[in-house]
Amino acid sequence: MNVLIVDDEPLSRSELEYLLQQNNSVMTIYQASGLTDGLKLLVTKQIDLLFLDIDLNNENGFTLANEINQLAKPPLVVFATAYDNYAVDAFNINAIDYVLKPFEQVRIDQAIAKVASVLRGKQVSGDKPLSSFITVTKEEKTRVIKINDIVYAVINQGELTITTTQGKFIAHETLNWLKSHLDSQRFIQVHRNVLLNIEKIHEIQPWFNHTYQIIMIDKQKLPVGRSFIRGLRQRLQM
C-alpha cells in the first residue's frame, strides 16, 4: 500500500517512516508537513493510507480529513497524535484507527493490519453485487436492515444511528463501514457525521453561510457541511 504521512514535526515523520518501512505491506511512503502539501500529494498520487497528525502548527488535521471525502478514491485515515482527547472526534469522521505518540512498532503494525484488511475487503467486493441488506448487532441481538429502507444515518459520539422507514437502529460502527455496504449512486455523505439516501430527500433549502439543509421524507432536517457542498451539487445537478 502507498502511505502518506502529514505531520509538522520532522522527527515524528522520520520515526513513523522508519516503523512503516519495517512492514512488508507498505510499498511507498510520502511525507508532507502541512495541509496544503498533503492535499497536493493526495490529488496527484494514489494514496491508500493517510497517517495524519491533528495539531499542525496553526492548522487542524480534521480539516484535511474532511476535505479528502471529496476525492474520487479517498484514502483510509489513521490519526497519529500525542493527544488522546481527540479520539471521539476522530472516529466520528470515520478514522480507521487512532495511534498515540510516541509510536511503537507493534501498534503501527496493528494499524497497518487493520487497513490491509479493509483494503482487501474492497478489492474482493469490487466485482460482487452489493447485498440487499445489512446486519447490525447490539446487546447480542442482531437485526437485519433492508438497504432500500435506509433513509439516513448519523454518527455521534462513536454511535451510528441508522434511520429507516421501519424505525431507528443503533450500531457501534463507523460511517465508512456503512458506506462500504451501500450503493454510491443512491447514497451520499453530506456532512462528516451524516450519510443519506438521495431517493429519500423531500426538499433542499438554503441555509446560513451559503450552505444547505436537507429535509428528508420523515421531515428530519440534516446539515450539509461546507466541504460536501460541491459533491452534493454535482450529484444532484444543482
51 and 154 housed in the same domain: no
Instruction: Specify whether 100 is located in the same domain as 173.
Output: no
> pLDDT at position 90, please?
58
Parts of the chain with a pLDDT under 70? 70, 85-94, 121-131
Report the pLDDT value the prediction gives residue 92, as an integer from 0 to 100. 60
7 and 121 both lie in a single domain: yes
78 burial class (0-12, 13-18, 19+ CB within 10 angstroms)?
Answer: buried
Domain count of the fold of the chain: 2
Whole-number pLDDT of residue 136: 83
167 and 195 inside one domain? yes
61 and 89 in a single domain? The answer is yes
Query: pTM to 2 decimals?
Result: 0.54
- Domain range for 101 is 2-125
Write the CATH number for 157. 2.40.50.1020
What was the pLDDT predicted at 81?
84
